[in-house]
Every structure is written in C-alpha cells, then in structure tokens.
Amino acid sequence: MKLIVRRTHEDLNGTWYFVLTTRLDLSEEEQELVSRHKLEGHTLTPGHPGGVYGPSTIADQRQGSKRIFSTLPALMNYEQALQAACAEMPRLLNCCRSFGVDQIVEFGG
C-alpha cells in the first residue's frame, strides 16, 4: 500500500491557496480485501471543520483526491491525519485476513 502525495499552490482570483492531491495505491490482494469486506466507504479522515470538506474514505483516496486549503497549517494537519489513518490500514486488513481462521491467544505463563 502506498499513499501518493503531491503538494502545490495555486493562485485563484488573486489569492494563494495550498493544494494537496493524494491517491491511495493498493496491491491486488489489498483491493480484494477492501472489496470483499465492503470497506470502500470506510472513513479515513473526518470532515474538515467548518464543513469545507466531508470525510475522506478509502474509495475517495483510491480514485484520487484534491483538497484546497487557505493556510499551510491546515494542509499539514489534514495530511498528517490522512497519513495516520493510512498507517492503520495494515491492521484493518490483517483483521480482515483473520476471518474464518482460528487464532490462539495465550495468556499467562
């Protein structure tokens, strides 16, 4: 799994904005798990405060996402949240792999 990130800035009507374009690249096996367990709508990041953007889902990131921010700290905060969510994806997918398989959990010594 890879998160492809591109940061740019654009002049829109005389005002500079910070742009974050992202895309989640999954292996065939990871995409199969997402499809089988219907995780396309799984929320990676909540909506942006103030309602500028809704939540970002696995499906959104697979298609690619472009988000525009008025400040660099806002872009950085969103990117950090997205990267943290993607860092948790292997755990989510490992849980999916465990369905239908007995696991032994030992306690004590």
pLDDT, tens only, 44-88: 988 766 556 778 999 999 999 999 998 999 899 899 999 999 999
In this prediction, residue 35 carries a pLDDT of 96
The rounded distance, in Å, linking the Cα atoms of 99 and 93 is 10
Prediction pTM value: 0.84
Asked if residue 7 belongs to a domain, the reply is: yes
Asked if residue 103 belongs to a domain, the reply is: no
Calculated CA dihedral for residues 62, 66, 69, 74, nearest 10 degrees? 20
Q: Helices 72-97 and 28-36 sit at what angle, rounded to 10 degrees?
A: 80
At 29-43, the pLDDT tens digits run 999 999 999 999 999
Asked if residue 107 belongs to a domain, the reply is: no
Report the number of distinct structural domains present in the chain: 1
Asked if residue 75 belongs to a domain, the reply is: yes
The rounded distance, in Å, linking the Cα atoms of 20 and 46 is 16
Structural domain of 7: 2-97
Sequential DSSP letters for 49-63: TTSSS--EEHHHHHH
| Residue whose entry in the numeric block shows the structure tokens 């799984």 | 42
Asked if residue 106 belongs to a domain, the reply is: no
Please answer whether residues 61 and 24 qualify as being in contact, where contact means their C-beta atoms are separated by less than 8 angstroms.
Answer: yes
Asked if residue 82 belongs to a domain, the reply is: yes
